[in-house]
Amino acid sequence: MTRNAQQDADEDSDDVELLAEFRLLWRDAAAIWDEHENEPAFEGYVGSDFFAAWTILKSLRGRGSTFLEWGSGLGVVAIMASRMGFESAGIEIEPELVELAQTLAKRYSADVDFVCGSFVPEEFEPDAAMGDEFFRTDSDSASAYAELDRELSDFDIVYAYPWPDEQGLFNSIMRRCGGRRSVLIRYDNREGISMRQPGMPKRSKR
């Protein structure tokens, strides 16, 4: 076996172990949902397709080191990112969800900075002409970046599960306040996972 093939084999076996751990994490998150789904804090919460999130995170290894989950809910994706070696954070508006995410992170030995507040940066001004409309995302609460001691532009990878009508809004936030090379991963329950760099200028057509 060549050295590279050996490295690949080692990485594969690490991933097998991680995936086994993540399946337990997903099971725990599902149990929390079953227990709390009717509580007001869970009104805006729906979990992503965590297997799809894991697959895309694997493809992003080496493309950045800092990860942020917007509206982190139970924090499952941010926890996976931490266990995969990213420097990970999550911003969630519901204090109860932040506490549950912190408990899960501890259980899975994940070092995630979960903070309570809004992922919408203070400097973001919605532009109605560009279709920047808030539907279910909280637009009134204080931004949480100061508590993280970071700006949105400090994060290489941002993960979000927007409501269908808010996909353009999420792109706008990233385009105007995110890092130029930062990646936005979006989950949509009909279209699945997509990835884009909203800060990069579009290539002109020839």
Residues forming the site for ligand SAM (CB under 6 A): 44-48, 69, 71-73, 76-77, 91-94, 97, 118-120, 137-138, 161, 187
Range list of H helices, 45-89: 50-59, 76-83
Which long-range CB contacts under 8 A does 14-18 form with residues at least 24 apart? 15/58, 18/83, 18/84
β-partners of residue 196 are 184
Least distance to ligand SAM, CB of residue 32, Å: 12
CB 182 within 8 A of CB 197: yes
Residue 6 Cβ vs ligand SAM, minimum distance, rounded to whole Å: 35
CB of 206 to ligand SAM, least distance (A): 38
Q: CB-wise, 40 or 201, nearer to ligand SAM?
A: 40
Nearer to ligand SAM, 44 or 64 (CB): 44
Q: What is the distance in angstroms between the CA of the first residue and the CA of the last residue of the chain?
A: 46
Could you say which DSSP state residue 204 is in? P
Of 47 and 64, nearer to ligand SAM (C-beta) is 47
Nearer residue to ligand SAM within complex by CB, 73 or 178? 73
Ranked by CB distance to ligand SAM, the top (closest) residue is 71
Q: DSSP class of residue 119?
A: S
**What is the smallest separation between the CB atom of 63 and ligand SAM, expressed in angstroms?**
20
